[in-house]
Amino acid sequence: MAWMRTHYAEEFGIDDLARLAGMSAPSLFRHFKAVALMSPMQYRTCIRLQEARRRLVADGDDAAEAGFAVGYDSPSQFSRDYRRMFGVPPARDAARLRGDSMLLAQEVEEERLS
């Protein structure tokens, strides 16, 4: 898990993790899920999305920049995953967390019109 927190933006699969841990893939998957209550890939997604959220709020990145920085190849997939985890699109969530009421109102209006 510590390795994943450091390398979250890289592409890796369960076989790569199993090799690093010195386990078989099925054994790693089973043990990981018992500890984390989610699969290794779900865990990586959570780490990526939390880091992206931090970048959106603290660094002022836009959604595409944040998504690419944390390892997403597709802005649309990033936005879908982000919305699934946090319940709102990235820009709206960042505006809310920053307390940016003008940007938040603009985001809400744009979504209503689309």
Domains (range + CATH), the chain? 2-113 (1.10.10.60)
- Cβ neighbour number for residue 65 with a 10 Å cutoff: 15
pLDDT computed for residue 104 by the predictor? 61
Integer Cα distance of 57 and 108 in angstroms = 18
- Cβ neighbour number for residue 88 with a 10 Å cutoff: 16
pTM (two decimals):
0.82
Going residue by residue through the chain, which has 114 residues, state the pLDDT in tens, using 9 for 90 and above.
999 999 999 999 999 999 999 999 999 999 999 999 999 999 999 999 999 999 998 888 999 999 999 999 999 999 999 999 999 999 889 888 887 666 666 666 777 776
pLDDT computed for residue 95 by the predictor? 84
pLDDT computed for residue 102 by the predictor? 61
Backbone angles phi, psi at 12, to 5 degrees: -155, 155
Integer Cα distance of 40 and 27 in angstroms = 12
